[in-house]
């Protein structure tokens, strides 16, 4: 019986995007490809969709169609998916093609190998339309590849003050450090929260939709951590977050936190617990004064 890939489909307008995208699907299960195609067709910035059950057909597809994104199943019989990604990126004609790694078991090791191969988007099965759109956005985003530069910035962030350099390097290798331009949306109200964010450069505005329009609840500066409540209570985002000017942000995915089982995970969970407690106390003190 084929696993269901699409859960809780929503009849809602898809997110806006700057341009139409051409997508190629690589999955050796026809039913899986059919479900993914149906989901992609509900997104208004997807133009053409090509599909194949064999990674060996990718070169022909890429030669026939200008492809922006390849969504590829991690487990394709004996195929070396990560080697294939590196090979496509090494070709000058296809070096700009973005990848989304799709799997029912996306663990930390898969993400580490994927990042080393240049994969920016990840999609866990089963998925919904919002997580599919999010993985597409992730795949098209800009990522900092200068580890030394990023490490120097991270060392100055209080949230990471208890971490050794070797722990920070490991963290940076399994988490994305993304670059956002002015007014880029980081997450939106109602979106499923699957990661927390640490701002290491630039500014971010937290914005709430209300009856009278948009209200800026807070302007965050380097060192601020946000989005952590979604990891605690698994509730949808309660506000929008967007970059104010050029910004750099470390994104710590919830699944990475769950997969790490050593001192790094303990330090991260401890920092999150302290952060949530501090925010709750500040909120309680503020409410007691009103």
Q: Is the pLDDT of residue 141 over 50?
A: yes
- Do residues 252 and 168 touch, judged by C-beta distance below 8 A? no
C-alpha separations of 130 from 121, 127, 137, 165, 241 in Å: 13, 8, 10, 35, 16
- Mean pLDDT check: name the lowest of 124-133, 233-242, 244-253, 280-289: 280-289
Instruction: For 14-67, write each residue's pLDDT tens digit.
Output: 444 447 899 999 999 999 999 999 999 999 899 999 999 999 899 899 999 899
C-alpha separations of 150 from 153, 176, 224, 225, 257 in Å: 5, 11, 16, 16, 20
Give every CB contact of residue 260 below 8 A, 6+ residues apart in sequence. 108, 174, 268
pLDDT of residue 6: 45
**Residue 247: exposure state from Cβ atoms within 10 A (0-12, 13-18, ≥19):** buried
pLDDT of residue 115: 86
C-alpha separations of 136 from 64, 184, 223 in Å: 22, 15, 27
Q: Is the pLDDT of residue 195 over 60?
A: yes
* Cβ atoms < 10 Å from Cβ of 196: 24
pLDDT of residue 235: 79
- Do residues 72 and 101 touch, judged by C-beta distance below 8 A? yes
- Do residues 36 and 125 touch, judged by C-beta distance below 8 A? no
Give every CB contact of residue 248 below 8 A, 6+ residues apart in sequence. 144, 150, 153, 177, 178, 179, 180, 199, 200, 201, 202
Q: Report DSSP state, residue 6.
A: B
Instruction: For 75-120, write each residue's pLDDT tens digit.
Output: 987 789 999 999 999 999 999 999 999 998 888 888 889 988 999 8
- Do residues 42 and 8 touch, judged by C-beta distance below 8 A? no
Of 238, 247, 161, the residue nearest 200 (C-alpha): 247
Q: In percent, how much of the chain has pLDDT > 90?
A: 46
Q: Is the pLDDT of residue 7 over 60?
A: no
Instruction: For 218-235, write each residue's pLDDT tens digit.
Output: 999 999 999 887 777 777
Q: Is the pLDDT of residue 124 over 50?
A: yes
C-alpha separations of 264 from 115, 146, 274 in Å: 19, 22, 16
Pairing of strands 98-103, 46-52: unpaired
What mean pLDDT, rounded, does the chain reach?
Answer: 85
Global pTM value: 0.74
pLDDT of residue 33: 93
Q: What is the set of domains in the chain, with CATH numbers?
A: 21-140 (3.40.50.2300), 143-288 (2.60.120.10)
**How far apart are the two ends of the chain, measured CA to CA in Å?**
58
Instruction: For 199-212, write each residue's pLDDT tens digit.
Output: 999 999 999 988 77
- Cite the DSSP H helix spans in the chain: 30-41, 58-64, 81-90, 108-117, 129-140, 147-155, 165-174, 229-233, 254-259, 263-288
- Do residues 137 and 100 touch, judged by C-beta distance below 8 A? no
pLDDT of residue 171: 87
At 290, is the pLDDT very low, low, confident or very high (cuts 50, 70, 90)? low
Q: Is the pLDDT of residue 280 over 80?
A: no
């Amino acid at each position: 019986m084929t696993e269901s890939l699409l859960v809780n489909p929503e009849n809602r307008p898809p997110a806006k995007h700057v341009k139409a995208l051409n997508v190629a699907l690589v999955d050796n299960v026809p039913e899986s490809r059919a479900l993914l195609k149906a989901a992609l067709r509900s997104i208004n910035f997807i133009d053409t969709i090509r599909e194949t059950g064999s990674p060996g057909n990718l070169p022909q597809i890429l030669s026939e169609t200008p492809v922006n994104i390849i969504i590829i199943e991690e487990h394709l019989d004996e195929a070396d998916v990560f080697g294939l990604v590196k090979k496509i990126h090494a070709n000058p004609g296809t070096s700009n093609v973005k990848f989304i790694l799709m799997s029912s078991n996306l663990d930390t090791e898969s993400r580490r190998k994927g990042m080393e191969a240049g994969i920016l988007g990840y999609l866990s099965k089963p998925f919904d339309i919002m997580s599919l759109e999010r993985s597409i956005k992730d795949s098209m985003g800009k990522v900092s590849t200068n580890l030394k530069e990023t490490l120097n910035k991270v060392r100055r962030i209080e949230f990471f003050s208890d971490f050794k350099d070797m722990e920070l390097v490991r963290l940076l290798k399994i988490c994305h450090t993304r670059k956002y331009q002015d007014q880029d949306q980081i997450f939106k109200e109602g979106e499923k929260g699957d990661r927390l964010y640490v701002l290491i450069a630039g500014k971010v505005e937290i914005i709430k939709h209300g009856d009278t329009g948009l209200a800026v609840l807070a302007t965050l500066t380097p060192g601020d951590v946000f989005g952590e409540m979604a990891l605690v209570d698994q509730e949808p985002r309660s506000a929008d977050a967007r970059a104010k000017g050029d910004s750099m942000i470390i994104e710590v995915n919830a699944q990475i936190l769950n997969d790490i089982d050593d001192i790094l995970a303990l330090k991260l969970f401890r920092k999150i617990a302290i952060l949530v407690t501090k925010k709750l106390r500040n909120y309680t003190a503020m409410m007691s004064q009103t």
